[in-house]
Amino acid sequence: MGLLTGDTRRETAIAWGFVVVQGVLILAVLLLPAGGLVGWFMAKARWEEGRLRARYREYGDYAARTPRFVPLWPVGADRR
């Protein structure tokens, strides 16, 4: 009898069920907040850039040649 195998097929299925449920819960706990943060930072960056464009005429030119979040990212790839 191994870690994820039981004496019967039912016990094995229950063990694998626990593995799947735990995996889904871990993904939900980690990925949902991370996705929310990414969305928040993208919205905040757009809002800030709108204010910068309104205040500084030349900001549009600067933003066109500079990546938004990640240095050395292809220019414009994160502005779609």
Taking only the tens place, the pLDDT of each residue in 28-66 is 898 889 889 989 998 999 999 999 999 999 999 988 888
Entry pTM: 0.58
Contacts of 77 (CB under 8 A, 6+ apart): 67
Q: Provide the pLDDT confidence category of residue 8 given band limits of 50, 70 and 90.
A: confident
Task: Quote the tokens at residue 65.
Answer: 């040649």
Confidence bin at 72 (pLDDT 50/70/90): confident
What pLDDT, on the 0 to 100 scale, is given for residue 53? 94
Distances (CA, A) of 80 to 4, 24, 75: 46, 31, 11
- Joined together, the tokens standing for residue 30 give 């980690």
